[in-house]
Structure 1
Amino acid sequence: MQSPRNNRSFTQLMAFDIEPQWLQALVTALSEQTERLARDHKGFLSASIQASEDGRRVLNYLQWQTREAGEAAFRSFESGEQDFWRLIQAHRAKAVTFGSFQVLHNIERSLDNALHCQLVD
C-alpha cells in the first residue's frame, strides 16, 4: 500500500554543465539564490551545492517539506528579481537538467555517531 504523497519531503535537483572558469561565479550565484529561497520560503529543509572535481559540473540540491513548498519557491526563482534563466545565461551553462524527487528512505548519522534509517511513510 502506498503512502500519501504529502507525507514525503520533496527534493529539487539541478545539474549544470559549465566551463571550469565559470565554476566559482556559478557557485556564488547559486549560494546567494539558495539562501534567499531558504530565508523567504516556508518549508525549506536543506540544500547543497556540489562541484565535480574537474569543475565542469555543478549540482544544486534543495530539499523541502512538501512538493507545494518546493514548487512555490521555484516559481519565485524563475520570475524573481534574480531571474533563474538570466543566472544560467550569465554563467554560460551549456546544459541544465532539472529533476524533482520524493524522498522514500533516509539514512543519517546523528551527533552521537549512530546511524538512523527512516523509511518515509
Structure 2
Amino acid sequence: MTEIIDKIAWIHIEDGRVLCARSKGKDTYYFPGGKREAGESDIDTLKREIEEELSVHIKEDTISHFGKFQAEAHGKGIGTIVNMSCYIADFEGELSPASEIEELAWLNYEKRDQVSKVSQIIFDRLFELGKLMK
C-alpha cells in the first residue's frame, strides 16, 4: 500500500543558489516547509511553516505557485511517496533557523546530491530554467 505525504515547500533563490534547510540530527537538506494541519490551505501552511522554521514572514501578495513534484520519500519505507507543492514568495525579516532546523544553506546545482529525491527533481527543474547556477 502506498502512503502519500503531502508537503508544501518554499523555493527562495538568490544569486543562482537556493535556500535549503537541514533538520537536527539529519544529513540531508530539504526545501523549507512542511505538512499542512487540518483545514489549512497551501498558503496558510506555507506561511506558518516558514515562520516556524525560519523566523520570517512570507509576503502573501508575492506568492506564486512554482509546481508540484513527486518522488519516493527520503528516510521512509518503500512505497512512501512525497507530493510537494512548491511556491516562490518574498519575505520580511531575517532568516534564522528555528524549531527543528539546525542549519540553513545556500546550495547551487553541484550540491544536488545533498538533498532529498524530490528536491533533486526540483533542483533539475530550476537548473533547466536557468535559475540555479552550476
Q: Could you tell me the TM-score, scaled by structure 1's length?
A: 0.30
Where relative contact order (Cα < 8 A, 6+ residues apart) is larger, the structure is 1
Q: Which structure is larger by alpha-carbon Rg, 1 or 2? A: 1
| Greater share of residues in helix | 1
User: Under a length normalisation based on structure 2, what TM-score does the superposition of the two structures give?
Assistant: 0.28
